């Protein structure tokens, strides 16, 4: 039996739960959250170590890009299994690369030779065109488009419906949009 432990019981955590259940990716889901008293939440985020086993994967469902990536790297350093969530209704080219802790949600597209680095969210309907590099911890919001040959800086959030034209990114070094 495959179990997924989701850190975060906010909107994104509930979205990941829904996507995972819809796709049948895991048999059991456990939520950990520091601020929720909901009956589905079984402890604090720091309690994750109690759940580590060979049949358990972990996913940090935080909208904060840096926080999400921080958890992933902590787990990878400790040998904890980090979930890579790719819904079967997403199109991911066989020549694309998807990093650890990424989520590619339904109706998203990751085209040929695209590279999606650790901890990135490719949300519902987002499109990553050919030869694009999405650096660690990015979030491509609903129906956003990154056209070919772009290199998106770490921790960047591309807003819903935003289109990034070929080689037209204007980002500060911090990865925030101008």
DSSP string computed for 9-58:
-SHHHHHHHHHHHHHT--SEEEEE-SS---TTB-S-GGGGGGG-STTEEE
β-bridge partners, 92: 110
The answer to whether residues 65 and 105 belong to one domain is no
Compute the mean pLDDT over every residue in the chain, rounded to the nearest whole number. 94
**Calpha distance 35→151 (Å, rounded):** 35
pLDDT confidence bin for 102, thresholds 50/70/90: very high
What's 144's domain CATH number?
2.160.10.10
**Calpha distance 4→109 (Å, rounded):** 24
pLDDT digits (tens, 9 = 90+) for 28-67: 999 999 999 999 999 999 999 999 999 999 999 999 999 9
pLDDT digits (tens, 9 = 90+) for 114-147: 999 999 999 999 999 999 999 999 999 999 999 9
Question: Taking Cα atoms as reference points, which of 169, 141, 160 lies closest to residue 63?
Answer: 141
Whether 171 is in a domain gets the answer no
pLDDT confidence bin for 169, thresholds 50/70/90: low
Number of domains the chain contains: 2
Domain hosting residue 130, numbered range: 85-164
pTM exceeds 0.75 for this model: yes
Mean pLDDT of 74-85: 98
Whether 170 is in a domain gets the answer no
> Among residues of the chain, what percentage have pLDDT more than 70?
93
């Amino acid at each position: 039996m495959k179990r997924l432990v989701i850190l975060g019981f906010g909107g994104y955590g509930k979205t990941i739960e829904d996507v995972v259940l819809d796709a049948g990716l895991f048999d059991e889901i456990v939520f950990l959250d520091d601020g929720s008293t909901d009956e589905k939440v079984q402890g604090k985020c720091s309690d994750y170590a109690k759940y580590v086993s060979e049949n358990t994967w972990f996913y940090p469902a935080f909208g904060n890009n840096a926080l999400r990536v921080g958890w992933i790297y902590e787990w990878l350093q400790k040998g904890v299994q980090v979930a890579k969530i790719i819904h079967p209704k997403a199109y991911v080219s066989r020549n694309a690369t998807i990093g650890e802790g990424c989520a590619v949600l339904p109706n998203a597209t990751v085209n040929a030779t695209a590279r999606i680095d650790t901890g990135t969210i490719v949300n519902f309907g987002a499109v990553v065109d050919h030869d694009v590099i999405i650096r660690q911890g990015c979030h491509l919001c609903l129906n956003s488009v990154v056209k070919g040959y772009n290199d998106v800086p770490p921790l960047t959030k591309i807003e819903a419906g935003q289109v990034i034209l070929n080689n037209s990114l204007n980002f500060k070094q911090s990865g925030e949009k101008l």
